[in-house]
A and B are shown apart, each in its own frame.
Chain A
Amino acid sequence: MKIHEHQARDILRRHGVPVPAHEVVSDAEEAGRAAARIGGLVVVKAQVHAGGRGKAGGVKLAKDPAEAKAKAAAILGMEIKGLTVRRVLVAGAVDIEREYYAGIVVDRASKRPVIMVSAAGGVDIEEVARTTPEKIVKVPVDPERGLAPAEASRLASVVEERAAQAAAVADVLSKLYEAFVGADCSLAEINPLVVTPSGEVWAVDAKMNIDDNALFRHPDIEALRDPSGETRAEALAREAGLSYVKLDGNVGCLVNGAGLAMTTMDLIKYYGGEPANFLDIGGSSSPEKVMAALDIITGDGNVRAVLINIFGGITRCDDVANGLVRALASRPAPVPIVARLTGTNEARAREILAEHELVTAETMDDAVQKAVALARRAA
């Protein structure tokens, strides 16, 4: 789960990382008043779940409250990568002498958190990783022991040769690691980590993604979920326990298992169609889940045909068939449905579906071709 910059700043601050004072506001008047309370030069930043906010014009400096109000008025309501800015952060600005990057991700290859430091801060770190990977120093951390102070010092000295500043950077790295573990992050970044001319070190930006699997032990973070970043269909899917990703095509698909669901999409494309979504109903196949899934798929106005591809293992084909029949009884499908159900209890499923107007198929290839043809005819 993504959280907003201001929420990540709060988490960092709770772990002792120096973060300039900030307030979050949703109208320009409030932004002016916040700037007055903070005092001095401030920065006004759009709070949306998108990278490249600066380039899009969503980050502006303001020298006084009147200017903060004007900048906030310009930023509020603007669209960044399709997301409307509803709130801005007003934060104290600091003088920049140097800008570093500090980040932690979970690294699959070493199976450990990896802490990354770079002297090339303040810019797009993915671009740095692509073009000059040698500018990023990476060190895996043993999760049982945590980040040793000596290791933090060594990493800090890679970017900062002055002793006092290096000690302050090392302290930030240690606290960033504590925040990463404490909040169960899958990613935590400070970019830039600023050193001021007077030698102070400040986290001027913060980005955190939280491990969805760990949210159960962080109800405070779960409560930060921003529904504006989620479509209605996505929210419905999450509540029903379905994995759903909307795409731009017109062949809807309902599949059990993530790998099979991706393969179904790939086959739709292979046979000349375009998938409308990724949807995995998961292992247990309660009829309710199937009903919810069908509602979500047919709720997408682009969908011209629905493809149901089930390989029964733990998922029982008759459960899926029952869900389908119940869904169709309450709301007839607005588009044709192709069903391919094979594996556990497939004979029972066939009986259940026999009296309904569904196109059936034996193999995945056959099912996909039929669905693509039906969608094309209806388009």
Chain B
Amino acid sequence: MSIFLDAESRVCVQGITGRDGLFHTKAMIEYGTKVVAGVTPGKGGRAAEGVPVFDTVKDAVANTGADATIVFVPARFAVGAIAEAVDAGIGLIVAVSEGIPVLDAARLYGRVRAAGARMIGPNCPGIISPGKSKLGIMPGSIHSPGEVGVVSRSGTLTYEVVDQLRRRGIGQSTVIGIGGDPIIGTNFIDALAAFEADPETAAVVLIGEIGGTDEEEAAAFIRAKMRKPLVSFIAGRTAPADKRMGHAGAIIAGGKGTAKEKIEALRAAGVPVADRPSEIPDLVREALGRRA
């Protein structure tokens, strides 16, 4: 097993005929993802990378039984594209698009939730269950199947960590990038709860960063609800206050959201926090040794 995404997931690509959409459709198919449909309004009836293209998500679902979607549509059209996927009954929506206005994300979140669907992102690299399927833009080759779950607010930092895990022979059950925006569909707690319930995940790596209090809330959840061992890393110890560090959500505002507070909260919950990413594989090995 794995969380949220498995080998049976039937994937639709929204924005499939765009530059990024095409490139990643090819990469996802090569990885083994069942890409069954693409959507680009006005280009229905064509094919892209051998995948049938439809005008609407509704058509794609009716004709192919797609149950997951990945959205490559540019930010200003992404809100409409995600809403369309929700209305078509898609259960898992990965929103790669960067730059969605935060109030639009808030409205979308309510809509996704009301429909009982799950949104990952926006502004995220997506999700991969190594050896099974990938619904995202991460390089497949750095991953390897195994029993460690990884959840992260970052993209390339996650690649760095996963690559080091693989080089040390530690495979992953599912790696999920939840995104760098202030309002995201799936947060740490959602992913942690799913990893805790997944029989094939033995330990979890949580990669956080400055801004907000998602890590602190995760620490409280870990203390109360998690039996599986965790290892963490928090980026941004040297980040100055009141400056946005790339991600819209990575900002220390009003003295809140510092790396120090997050690291203290996680350590208080019994989670070892690495000072450097290169320490993570050893900490994971120790954590796996500790499991019941």
B110 partner residues in chain A, CB cutoff 8 A: 111-112, 142-144
CA distance A344 to B183 in the complex (A): 30
Set of chain B residues within 8 Å of A184, measured between Cβ atoms: 101, 103
Q: Interface size class for chain B?
A: 35 or more
**Do the beta carbons of A313 and B125 come within 8 Å of each other?**
yes
A111 to B76, CA, bound (A): 20
Knowing A111-B106, A143-B107 touch, does A256 contact B156 (C-beta < 8 A)?
Answer: yes
**Is A214 interfacial (CB-CB < 8 Å)?**
yes
Binds B, one of A23-31, A156-164, A259-267, A331-339: A259-267
Task: Tell me whether B103 and A257 are in contact (CB under 8 A).
Answer: no
Is there an interface contact between A258 and B277, defined as CB atoms closer than 8 Å? no
CB distance from A128 to the nearest CB of B (A): 11
Q: Which residues of B are found within 8 Å of A376, using beta-carbon distances?
A: none
B154 within 8 A of A: yes
What distance in Å separates the Cβ of B2 from its nearest Cβ neighbour in chain A? 20
Q: Is A129's beta carbon under 8 Å from chain B?
A: yes
Among A112, A314, A364, contact of B278 (Cβ-Cβ < 8 Å) = A364
Contact in complex: B246, A278 (CB < 8 Å) = yes
| Closest-CB distance, A146 to chain B (whole angstroms) | 11
Q: Which of B75, B102, B183, B236 contacts A262 (CB 8 A)?
A: B236
Chain A interface helix/strand/loop/mixed: mixed
Q: Please tell me if the beta carbons of A262 and B103 are within 8 angstroms of each other in the complex.
A: no
Number of interface residues of A (CB under 8 A): 54
Q: Is B180 within 8 A of A258, CB to CB?
A: yes
Docked complex Cα distance between A260 and B157 (Å): 5
Most chain B CB inside 10 Å of its own CB: which residue of A113, A211, A268: A211
Q: A212, A259, A270 — which one has the most chain B CB atoms within 10 A of its CB?
A: A259
Interchain CB contact under 8 A, B209 and A181: no
From B100, B102, B104, B246, contact of A258 by CB (8 A) = B246
Contact A143 B158 (CB under 8 A): no
Shortest CB–CB separation between residue A48 and chain B, in angstroms?
Answer: 14
Q: Encode contact with A along B188-210: 1 for CB under 8 Å, 0 otherwise.
A: 00000000000000000001011
B212 interface residue (CB < 8 Å to A):
yes
Given the known inter-chain contacts A259-B152, A259-B154, please indicate yes or no for A245 contacting B240, CB distance below 8 A: yes
Contact A126 B255 (CB under 8 A): yes
Interface centre among B158, B217, B239 (most CB of A within 10 A): B239
Q: Which of chain B's residues have a CB closer than 8 A to the CB of A211? A: 101-103
Contact indicator B250/A262 (Cβ below 8 Å) = yes
Residue on B nearest A365 in the bound complex, by CB: B278
A302 proximal to B (CB < 8 A)? no
Binds A, one of B35-43, B48-56, B135-143, B282-290: B135-143
Complex Cα–Cα for A373 and B277 (A): 20
Question: Would you give the shortest CB distance from B104 to chain A, in whole angstroms?
Answer: 8
Give the interface centre of A113, A144, A257 by most chain B CB atoms within 10 Å. Answer: A257
Is B91 in contact with chain A by the CB < 8 A criterion? no
CB distance A266 to B213 under 8 Å? no
The residue in chain B whose Cβ has the minimal distance to the Cβ of A265 is B238
Q: Is the CB of B102 within 8 A of A213?
A: yes
Give B275's nearest chain A residue, CB to CB.
Answer: A270
* Docked pose: A369 CA to B237 CA in angstroms: 18
With both beta carbons as reference points, the residue of chain B lying nearest to A271 in the complex is identified as: B276
Contact of B106 among A112, A260, A278, A364 (CB under 8 A): A112
Taking the nearest CB of chain A, how far is it from the CB of B243, in angstroms? 5
Complex contact A245–B243 (CB within 8 A): yes
The answer to whether the Cβ of A132 comes within 8 Å of any Cβ in the partner chain is no
Q: Which A residues are CB-close (under 8 A) to B212?
A: 108-109
Given contacts A211-B102, A211-B103, whether A266 and B183 have CB atoms under 8 Å apart is no
Q: Which residues of B contact A186 (CB under 8 A)?
A: 102, 182
The answer to whether B180 and A259 have CB atoms under 8 Å apart is: yes
How many Å lie between the Cα of A292 and that of B276 in the bound state? 29
Q: Does any Cβ of B come within 8 Å of A192's Cβ?
A: no
B154:A269 contact, CB within 8 angstroms: no
Apart from A129-B254, A144-B111, A278-B243: 13 A-B pairs, beta carbons within 8 A:
A130-B255, A184-B103, A186-B102, A211-B102, A213-B75, A257-B157, A258-B246, A259-B235, A260-B235, A262-B236, A266-B237, A311-B163, A344-B139
Q: Can you offer 7 A-B residue contacts whose CB atoms are under 8 A?
A: A109-B212, A213-B100, A259-B155, A261-B246, A262-B236, A266-B236, A280-B245
- 9 interchain residue pairs of minimum CB distance: A259-B154, A258-B246, A257-B156, A259-B157, A214-B101, A243-B246, A262-B235, A280-B246, A260-B156
